[in-house]
A and B are shown apart, each in its own frame.
Chain A
């Protein structure tokens, strides 16, 4: 990775090493608590979906299907190679689902909970794509000075969205469907147009904020509609993470770090006006 442009900055009381150690401690906690719990949850849901899948899925098929959605790197590989998840998907040998296959990685042709799963996967793909393009633009020097903390935010948020996409696609695979490889059709044209206009970090942060809020609000709506308790649990463990991304983006923009109105007044309840359906 090419180094980002960094401006000279005054000496800070905090060192990179000190902050890195704190991050490592939290990251360790994440791997010990958050992801294993989610993996077990997704595996259990996949297990529920086994009953009707006709196509036998090999472990390799699962890995390729999940990891092939977007250039995933280590995060997707780690998730996809988790034995519990892989075994759950590989054993999904029969499905009584009335849904026809979703063709070519799309989100159409599905109904019920699986339609929600596909929508969620497409939203995560869109977030990954937007962050990837933003990071590429920064690396190419197209955004001017990019603060190092913003770079870390973008790469970490992208990684977490890839985790989310992998989880949703693991469910689709377990149900005998194709993993979703597209980005959300209703949002993609707008995001593509906005990305083309991004000229600096503020523009990029505002665009990312729009995506994070849309994702969080979509999960919020769908979590109350999903039938499967495993599906509800999965959406519910992701929604707060998207909102945390949003909080950090507000902070990076110098605004109050929490859900707020368009004029910047904090709100106690997250709205759903930006939810995607």
Chain B
């Protein structure tokens, strides 16, 4: 099944321009964000620090429980993740800036992960499923734009841009990528999808959680405009994973004809939660510039 490569290629090209337009809209919000920050950037007071610490502790306990009861992290090195969460670093800027920087660090990691995935022949090569390939290309581009937007917000709030990847998840990704060496296209594709799914959920859940902690309205608006996009990435990856697990990669296609042939259960596999969870949310200071 080949999907609609013409449509997707054109969409990808068009989206570069249109996403620039969308980003321009976002920049309007960012300009407002700057104005708000010039009125008086929030300071990192003791209450904020304590709240961040409480959340970070709760996050680690919650994530440890989550990892202990699910296999979702299996392909991405869940055990290692638990160990890494044991000693978070501290940052000194305001919580809003930290959240923007942490978000940028997650986006940096997502960009590099998709970029790496696209070097694999069964993801980005001629043998790749065209829908999966274009999804990875579009998604990499979107994460890059998210990264730019979060960093612009951090800088205009008085902080620095975060150019590094989230330190907590870098070893996890490296381990997962190393595990792909020599893997069959089927196993490799599954590994990539599992890893990407985990990163998308970390991103989406972090932003959902940030929404009730951010103080600046414009920062909230930016975060709100991105969190659902990451959730859509996760929905696509859940569906792709289900079809790969069922040994039906040929059914990964953008075609109502193929949709008509899918079994009933395929209709809901992409959105398992009525309410998006936050158990994988990163603490505000996790990816902050130190």
A interface residues with partner B (beta carbon < 8 Å): 7, 9-10, 12-16, 18-20, 22-23, 26-27, 29-30, 32-35, 37-38, 145, 147-154, 156-157, 159-160, 163-164, 167, 202, 216, 220-221, 223-225, 229-230, 232-233, 235-248, 251-261, 263-272
In the assembled complex, B176 has its CB within 8 A of some CB on chain A: no
Q: Choose among A16, A150, A240, A264 the residue that contacts B11 (Cβ–Cβ < 8 A).
A: A264
Counted as pairs of residues, one from A and one from B, with CB atoms less than 8 Å apart, the total is 281
Q: List 15 A-B contacts (CB under 8 A).
A: A13-B248, A19-B263, A19-B269, A33-B273, A151-B267, A152-B264, A163-B274, A164-B274, A224-B217, A232-B212, A237-B276, A244-B231, A256-B7, A258-B232, A260-B15
Q: How many whole Å from B100's CB to the nearest CB in chain A?
A: 15
Contact B235 A244 (CB under 8 A): yes
A176 to B26, CA, bound (A): 39
**CB closest chain-B residue, reference A220:** B224
Chain B 231-254: CB-based contact to A (< 8 A → 1; otherwise 0): 111111011001101111011001
Contact A266 B228 (CB under 8 A): no
Q: How many whole Å from A82's CB to the nearest CB in chain B?
A: 13
In the complex with contacts A22-B269, A224-B220, A240-B231 CB distance below 8 A: yes
Interface size on B, residues (CB 8 A): 80
Contact A240 B276 (CB under 8 A): yes
In the assembled complex, B288 has its CB within 8 A of some CB on chain A: no
A154 to B276, CA, bound (A): 19
Contact B274 A14 (CB under 8 A): no
Contact B19 A266 (CB under 8 A): yes
Q: How many whole Å from A206's CB to the nearest CB in chain B?
A: 12
Contact B264 A269 (CB under 8 A): no
A172 to B14, CA, bound (A): 44
In the complex with contacts A35-B275, A153-B267, A236-B212, A259-B232 CB distance below 8 A: yes
Q: Choose among A242, A251, A268 the residue that contacts B19 (Cβ–Cβ < 8 A).
A: A268
**CB closest chain-A residue, reference B243:** A14
Contact B271 A244 (CB under 8 A): yes
Name the A residues within 8 Å of B221 (CB-CB): 220, 224
In the assembled complex, B141 has its CB within 8 A of some CB on chain A: yes
B interface residues with partner A (beta carbon < 8 Å): 4, 7-8, 11-12, 14-15, 17-19, 22-23, 25-26, 66, 69-70, 72, 135, 138, 141-142, 145-146, 149, 204, 208, 211-213, 217, 220-221, 224-236, 238-239, 242-243, 245-248, 250-251, 254-256, 259-279
Name the A residues within 8 Å of B228 (CB-CB): 216, 220, 239-240, 242-244, 259, 270
Q: Choose among B69, B138, B271 the residue that contacts A160 (Cβ–Cβ < 8 A).
A: B271
**CB closest chain-A residue, reference B249:** A13
Among A150, A157, A248, max chain B CB count under 10 A is at A248
Q: How many whole Å from A241's CB to the nearest CB in chain B?
A: 6
A268 to B150, CA, bound (A): 13
Contact B274 A34 (CB under 8 A): yes
Q: How many whole Å from A79's CB to the nearest CB in chain B?
A: 9
Q: Choose among A19, A156, A221, A268 the residue that contacts B242 (Cβ–Cβ < 8 A).
A: A19
Contact B259 A22 (CB under 8 A): no
Given contacts A229-B213, A239-B228, A240-B204, 9 further A-B contacts (CB under 8 A): A14-B247, A16-B265, A18-B246, A26-B238, A27-B272, A29-B273, A38-B275, A240-B232, A269-B149
**CB closest chain-B residue, reference A219:** B224
Among B18, B255, B272, max chain A CB count under 10 A is at B272
In the complex with contacts A19-B266, A149-B262, A243-B251 CB distance below 8 A: no
Contact A148 B22 (CB under 8 A): no
A67 to B137, CA, bound (A): 45
Q: How many whole Å from B182's CB to the nearest CB in chain A?
A: 25
Name the A residues within 8 Å of B265 (CB-CB): 16, 19-20, 22-23, 149, 152
Contact A33 B269 (CB under 8 A): no
Contact B235 A248 (CB under 8 A): yes
Among A157, A202, A243, max chain B CB count under 10 A is at A243
**CB closest chain-A residue, reference B72:** A29
**CB closest chain-B residue, reference A239:** B228
**CB closest chain-A residue, reference B16:** A265
Q: How many whole Å from B150's CB to the nearest CB in chain A?
A: 12
Contact B246 A15 (CB under 8 A): yes
Q: Choose among A156, A223, A246 the residue that contacts B211 (Cβ–Cβ < 8 A).
A: A223
